[in-house]
Structure 1
Amino acid sequence: MAKEQVKVSWLEKMAFSAEVNGHKITLDAAEKVGGEDRGPRPKPLMMTALAGCTGMDVVSILKKMRVEVEDFNVTVEGDLTEEHPKQFSKMHVIYEFKGKDLPMEKLKKAVSLSEERYCGVSATYRQAMELTSEIKVTE
């Protein structure tokens, strides 16, 4: 079984330094809870992981399908519970493609393959919360 590992080290106050794949990320809390806002909070990084994972899949799949897009963005919206521990109850993924005469069936197929077969972040999150998505296309 393959293993992944990250190391997070406390810097000061509420700040931590994370080393991920040889890259450093500073995590911090908002000033109102004792942080200095030196970096992102952990929960939004969960949405970043989902967006990056599925986005990379979709780009790779579309390349194999010979579909060329001018621009591509993935937005993830998350609904948090009101009570502690505050956790995501739902995430909604918006795939935004830009290009001329993009074949919607191939876009849907690429998104579906990512969500259902390739994206390990989606697979993990689906066990814990509702995941929904939509595709938007502009020319």
Structure 2
Amino acid sequence: MNKTNIEAKLKGNMAFEMEINGHKVVTDATAENGGNGYGPSPKALLLAGLIGCSGIDIMLITGKMRLDIEDVNVDVEAETRDEDPKIYNYIKLVYKFKGKNLPYDKLERAVKLSMDKYCGVAAMLNKAVPINYEIQIIEE
């Protein structure tokens, strides 16, 4: 079983610096919320974690499928409710694949496998908020 240990230190006001496997990450609140904006909000990092987790899965899966993907961009939209705790009402991911002759059905299978089976971040978030996705192919 793997364990994750993260050390966080207050860096002033509301900003925290974390050491994650040798990488430093800073989170902070926006100025409107009393912070200084020294880093992204923790909830934004959660979304970034979802993109990274599913993106890694998708690249591994499409690599095994021998798809010639030239580039991938992922956009995420998440609406936050007004009441506390300010959780997301929904999360929507848009995967934009660039390449020649990319088969939609294989890309859809790769994304579905990631979101439904392999991505631990998606599995955890799906218990709290609906996650939807869209696939776009950009032909060269």
TM-score, normalisation: structure 1: 0.95
Give the distance between the partners of 2:87 and 2:77, measured in 1 at CA: 13
CA distance in 1, matches of 2:107, 2:58: 8
In structure 2, the partner of 1:9 is 9
Could you say which residue in structure 2 is the equivalent of 1:105? 105
Distance 1:112 1:83 in 2: 32
Scaled by the length of structure 2, the TM-score of the pair is: 0.94
Is the CA contact (8 Å cut-off) linking 2:68 and 2:100 kept in structure 1? no
| C-alpha RMSD over aligned residues | 1.1
Tell me, in whole angstroms, the C-alpha distance in 2 between the residues paired with 1:75 and 1:46: 14
Please list every run of 5 or more consecutive structure 1 residues that lacks an aligned counterpart in the other structure.
none
2:88 aligned partner, one-letter code: F
Aligned length: 139
Counterparts of 2:89 and 2:38 in 1: how far apart (Å)? 27
Mapped partners of 1:96, 1:26: distance in 2 = 28
Determine if the alignment matches structure 1 residue 120 to structure 2 residue 106.
no
In the alignment, what sits opposite 2:62? 62
Q: Can you give the 5+ residue segments of structure 2 that lack an aligned partner in the other structure?
A: none
**1:1-139, aligned counterparts within 5 Å?**
1-139=1-139
Greater alpha carbon shift after TM alignment, 20-29 vs 40-49: 20-29
Cα offset, 1:5, TM superposition: 2.1
Runs of 4+ in 1 over 4 A off after TM superposition: none
